[in-house]
Amino acid sequence: MKELLNQINTLAKKEREVGLSAQEKEEQQQLRKEYIKNFRGQVLSTLTGLTIVDPLGNDVTPEKVKKLSSDNEK
């Protein structure tokens, strides 16, 4: 993911300094889409791994989150 971000930043810098060709703009858009997809996947993975516990120690994790968590384990 770090390499992907470096490529995005390189193209952004070039865009500010001299501009991008049509091919480079397309590449930039594809890289950004891939980065966002990876980022969302990481956030979803983190959130589905959480367990919510009330002050009494009862598991109150919403069923939707439990279902997503069990789906990710398969």
The pTM score is: 0.72
Half-sphere exposure of 9 (CA within 13 A, CB side): 6
Work out the pLDDT band at 74, boundaries 50, 70, 90. Answer: low
- Taking the alpha carbons of 60, 65, 69, 74 in that order, is the dihedral positive or negative? positive
Phi, psi of 56 (to 5 degrees): -90, -5
Q: pLDDT digits over 53-73, tens only?
A: 999 999 898 888 888 887 766
Q: What residues pair up with 30 in beta bridges, in sequence order?
A: none
Q: pLDDT digits over 13-56, tens only?
A: 999 999 999 999 999 999 999 999 999 999 988 888 888 899 99
Phi, psi of 62 (to 5 degrees): -55, 145
- Provide the pLDDT for residue 1: 83
Q: Which helix (H) or strand (E) holds 54?
A: none
